[in-house]
């Protein structure tokens, strides 16, 4: 899985701005090389706040198209809709 970060995401992280997550993709669906993407904010929040559900098959996309693994988001402030959370392991 390729993780893409832009200069804007670098600035956001260094300015301590929340990363605005708009979608989540699970690449491990049914072990059949299929992926499933959701934009449901409640589903994204549920995964990000439940470390027991984290896998290496998950990726998260921000509003400008940067892709993050769960490891990229640990200890970061994330914005999901109007809500801000800190992703804690």
Any domain includes 47: yes
Does residue 1 lie within any of the structural domains? Answer: no
- Taking only the tens place, the pLDDT of each residue in 31-75 is 667 889 999 999 999 999 999 999 999 999 999 899 999 999 999
Is 2 among the domain residues?
Answer: no
Total domains present in the chain: 1
pLDDT at 51: 95
Q: What is the distance between the alpha carbons of residues 17 and 26, in angstroms, rounded to a whole number?
A: 25
Is the model's pLDDT at 5 over the cut of 90?
A: no
The confidence score (pLDDT) of residue 31 equals 62
Does the pLDDT at position 11 exceed 80?
A: no
- Residue 82, in any domain of the structure: yes
Threshold 0.75, pTM exceeds: yes
Structural domain containing residue 45: 7-86
Helix and strand numbers (H, E) in the chain are 3, 6
């Amino acid at each position: 899985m390729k993780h893409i970060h832009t200069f804007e995401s670098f600035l956001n992280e260094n300015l301590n701005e929340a990363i605005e997550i708009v979608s989540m993709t699970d690449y491990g669906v049914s072990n059949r090389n299929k992926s499933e993407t959701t934009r449901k904010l409640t589903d994204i929040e549920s995964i990000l706040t439940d470390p027991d559900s984290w896998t290496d098959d998950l990726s998260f996309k921000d509003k400008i198209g940067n892709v993050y693994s769960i490891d990229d988001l640990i200890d970061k402030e994330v914005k999901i809709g109007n809500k801000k959370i800190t992703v804690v392991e």
